[in-house]
Amino acid sequence: MPVFDQQETRKPPISQIGAILWLKTNLFSSWINSILTFASLYLLYIMIPPLLNWMIFDASFSFGTINFFGFEIKFSEEMATNDNCGRVGACWPYIYEKLYMYTYGFYPRTETWRPNTVFALTGLLFVIVPLVKNYKYKNRVTLSLIILYPLISYILIAGGFGLLTPVDTDQWGGLLLTLIIASVGIIVSFPIGVLLALGRQSNLKVIKLFSTLFIEFIRAVPLITILFMASFVLPLFLESGNYFDKLLRALIGIALFQAAYFAEVVRGGLQAIPRGQYEAADAIGLSYFQKNVLIILPQALKISIPNIVGSSISLFKDTTLVLIIGLFDMLAMVNLTSNDPYWLGRETEGFVFVTMVMWAILYTMSRYSRKLELRFNTENKN
């Protein structure tokens, strides 16, 4: 009887496994792809090394004092000056020196702990909310947080009420101001936006007309015209002698602007709710208010969460516009600090720094929005 020796399986040819296969299928699958690959490599070659040289290899890092959230770290005894840096690479000591301005603007240096506490509280908020997710009284906790957090933050930052030294809004600036405008803008405009969306979907002709007019008007004009309106014309609309803070005016403009965009996002959610839900709510005799609060809005808002985050991202980007009406947000600090006679001509470093900070924040937000989109997307694809 013939006995078959078990033969070892032959290994696949080297070109069908591992890195070579990957290269072959992903980079050099055809001659056009090969050309594209080399073109991309060339593009990277002309862009990345000069950038790295400027940012790292030719840059100055190691002198001056850095003020990081109020803590001072000294690098060396050597003074940080414009001359010590040279003009070949980036001058990061300029950023160290001005970091305080970029974070807090003209906020009094003795009071730094106050915005810091607010930052810490904000961080804590992100810890607490997921923690109480399964807690019995989670609604009460959330509600009290919604009321308490802005109140405490306002008292801490603005001072006054006989507790803390008041700090004028003129002195708020930098990243602090950017975050304040963005968060106040989102929080204030959201309820207005929901009301406008309901108004636009309403059967009442007059309410529908006004809501539609408002939304369409705001969406048709650039934010800067709204900010100019808020800054120049709004004081004229009020009874004479009413003092109106510049920041507050900008916030009103931004909140109205954003409300129109939120309204459209929420309207999209409202339209996605099947008619049956409305009819069922009517059938069991719920009032308009009950119908919307208990049945329609919870579903509509849930659908529109990814778009709400997306719209908030746009708002965060738009906060930079306040520099045009003379508020000193983080971007405005670039021109302000490089007008300092000791640090002339350091705009590029400033812009790169602000870009990095803004990008990090916005990228995180957009990742988060994409994650939400995937989580809420129950539709089957193909």
Partner 1 sequence: MYMKKIILDSLGKSQHRGLNFRDMLYNNEARAFFFQIVTFVLVVGLFYTAIGNLFQNIDERGINTGFTFLKNRAGFDILPFLGNYVVNYTPESSNFSVFYVGLVNTLVVAFVGIILSTLIGLLIGIARLSNNYLVAKLAGGYIELFRNVPILLQILFWYNLFINLFPHPKQSFAFFDIMFLNQRGLYLPKPIPEDGFMLVTISLLLGITASYFVKKHYKKKHELTGIHTSTWPFSIALILGLPIIVFLILGSPLQFDIAVLGKFNLRGGMNVVPEFLALTFALSVYTATYIAEAIRSGIEAVDKGQKEAAAAIGLTPTQSLKLIILPQALRVAIPPTINQYLNLTKNSSLATAIGYPELMSAFGGTVLNQVGQAVEILAMAMLVYLVISLFISLLLNYVNNKMAIQGR
Residue 106 beta carbon to partner 1: minimum distance, rounded to whole angstroms: 21
Report the distance separating Cα 49 and Cα 67, nearest Å: 30
For residue 340, give every residue at least 6 positions away whose Cβ sits within 8 Å of its Cβ, in sequence order, or none.
Answer: 98
If we measure between CA atoms, which residue out of 321, 323, 312 comes closest to residue 361?
312
Burial of 266 (0-12, 13-18, 19+ CB in 10 A): buried
A 10 A CB-CB count for 157 gives 20
* Contacts with partner 1, 192-231, as mask; x by CB under 8 A: -----------xxxxx--x------x-xxxxxxx--xx--
- The set of residues, in sequence order, having a beta carbon less than 8 Å from that of 173 and lying 6+ positions away, is 101, 104, 105, 106, 107, 327, 328, 329, 332, 333
Q: Cβ closer to partner 1: 52 or 146?
A: 52
Interface residue with partner 1, options 323, 327, 333, 336 (CB under 8 A): 323
* Residue listed under structure tokens 């803008």: 185
Quick one: which of 139, 144, 355, 377 contacts partner 1 (CB under 8 A)? 355
Binds partner 1 by CB under 8 A, chosen from 36, 88, 272, 280: 36
Span 233-262, contacts to partner 1 by CB under 8 A: 233, 235-240
Interface with partner 1 (CB under 8 A), residue from 290, 348, 371, 376: 348
DSSP code, position 243: -
* CA atoms of 94 and 107, how far apart (whole Å): 19
Which of 68, 363, 368, 376 is the binder for partner 1 (CB under 8 A)?
A: 363
Residue 44 or residue 79: which is nearer to partner 1 going by CB? 44
Of 114 and 291, the one with the shorter C-beta distance to partner 1 is 291
Rounded to a whole number of angstroms, the minimum distance from the CB of residue 368 to partner 1 is 12
Residue type, 289: F
CB 243 → partner 1: shortest distance, Å? 13
Distance, in Å, from the CA atom of 322 to the CA atom of 173, rounded to the nearest integer, reads: 11
Tell the burial category of 253 from Cβ atoms under 10 Å away from its Cβ (0-12, 13-18, 19+): buried
Residue 29 near partner 1 by CB under 8 A? yes
Work out whether 345 is an interface residue with partner 1 (CB under 8 A). yes
Number of residues in contact with partner 1, rule: CB under 8 A?
A: 55
Part of the chain binding partner 1 (CB under 8 A), chosen from 10-18, 21-29, 122-130, 294-302: 21-29
Q: Which amino acid is at 322?
A: V
Q: Considering beta carbons, is residue 165 or 348 the nearer one to partner 1?
A: 348
One-letter identity of residue 184: V
| Contact (CB, 8 A) for 163 and 126 | no
3-class DSSP assignment, residue 329: strand
Q: Least Å distance between CB 233 and partner 1?
A: 5
Give the range of 13-21, 55-63, 162-170, 349-357 binding partner 1 by CB under 8 A. 349-357
The CB-side HSE value for 156 (13 A sphere, CA atoms) comes to 19
Question: According to the binding rule CB under 8 A, does residue 301 interact with partner 1?
Answer: no
Measured from the CB atom, the residue of 206 and 283 that comes closer to partner 1 is 206
Among 70, 159, 320, 373, binds partner 1 (CB under 8 A): 320
Instruction: Look up residue 85 and give its two tokens.
Output: 């840096």
Contacts of 297 (CB under 8 A, 6+ apart): 194
By beta-carbon proximity to partner 1, the closer residue of 33 and 171 is 33
| Nearest approach, Cβ of residue 165 and partner 1 (Å) | 33
Point out which residues bind partner 1 (CB under 8 A).
Answer: 26-27, 29, 33, 36-37, 40-41, 43-44, 203-207, 210, 217, 219-225, 228-229, 232-233, 235-240, 317-321, 323-324, 331, 334, 345, 347-348, 351, 354-355, 358-359, 362-363, 366, 382
